[in-house]
Amino acid sequence: MWRIVQRVTLADHHQSPEKEKKLVFLTARVHPGESPASFICQGVIDFLVSQHPVAQILRDHVIFKIVPMLNPDGVYLGNYRCSLMGFDLNRHWQDPSPWAHPTLHAVKQLIVQMSQDPRVSLEFYIDVHAHSTMLNGFMYGNVFEDEERVQRQAVFPRLLCQNAPDFSFSNTSFNRDVVKAGTGRRFLGGLLDDTSYCYTLEVSFYSYMTAGSTAPVPYTEETYMKLGRNVARTFLDYYKLNNLIKDNRPTHIQSSEVKSHTGGGNGKGNGVGRDAADREREKSQGVRH
């Protein structure tokens, strides 16, 4: 796993050294019992190191730093939420101890260091979790006073909703809940500059519903990894939208072909249509956000 991460993070440091690189930072398993997060992370990694044309384009333009397990001692011990010493690490981002929270301390130092590196632009931090009551995949984001920044923050989850039939934008929410102040998403959202976006990516422990479906579909290891592949692929859409990446793929590699390669998306409709279907279904189910 760590060897794979090294390949992803170092893949393109030798290319275009004079040009500022975009940086995406992903973490997972800060809560050790949330095992679906590992499969999503594996899907992201497997796709990024593959020979898929989209993955090759992403490696040419974006640096990915991935920490697939923030709480290894908790995972080893079979803990659900805490570390070996009984800490919920996702409440200690503000002032992690190098002794009591060593993985968090090290990762925070790395993120701060990279945010100050003039050679790179840290644009995304995504922390992957699993949710015990909600359906589908969805995101939590932050609240900003600047309305333009609020709108820009919504772009990535909207694009992901178009690519992943199991991702629900209507379940996605943006908040500044006080009890979440020590989480990675909240703390780094306040620490990094206004070109950076910090999210928590949640996925259901048990099932998802797609537009038009009447019954939930159980998640499997493969469908969790498929969501990870779709997360990775969405970065291409995002950076094409922001004119960092030109759509210069060969003509025989179209979006529909990309979706079939990654296993995601049904090619029907768009995110707006799915959002409306999500809302209607959740009203009938009494789902509260």
Catalytic residues: 202
Rounded to 10 degrees, what is the CA torsion of 239, 201, 55, 48?
A: 140
Q: Count H helices, E strands: the chain?
A: 11, 8
**Locus of tokens 């772009």:** 155
Q: How far apart are the first and last CA of the chain?
A: 35
Distance CA 9, CA 7 (A): 6
Task: Give all strands (DSSP E) within the chain, no chain letters.
Answer: 21-28, 62-67, 120-128, 137-141, 173-174, 197-203, 207-208, 217-218
Give me the amino acid identity at 224: Y
Angle between helices 36-48 and 2-10 (to 10 degrees): 50
Residues 6+ apart with CB under 8 A from 145: none
User: If phi over 0 gives left and psi between -120 and 50 gives alpha, with beta otherwise, what is residue 115?
Assistant: alpha
Q: Which residues pair with 125 in a beta bridge?
A: 25, 198
Give me the amino acid identity at 139: M
Residues 6+ apart with CB under 8 A from 17: 119
∠97-103-105 over CA atoms, to 5°?
A: 40
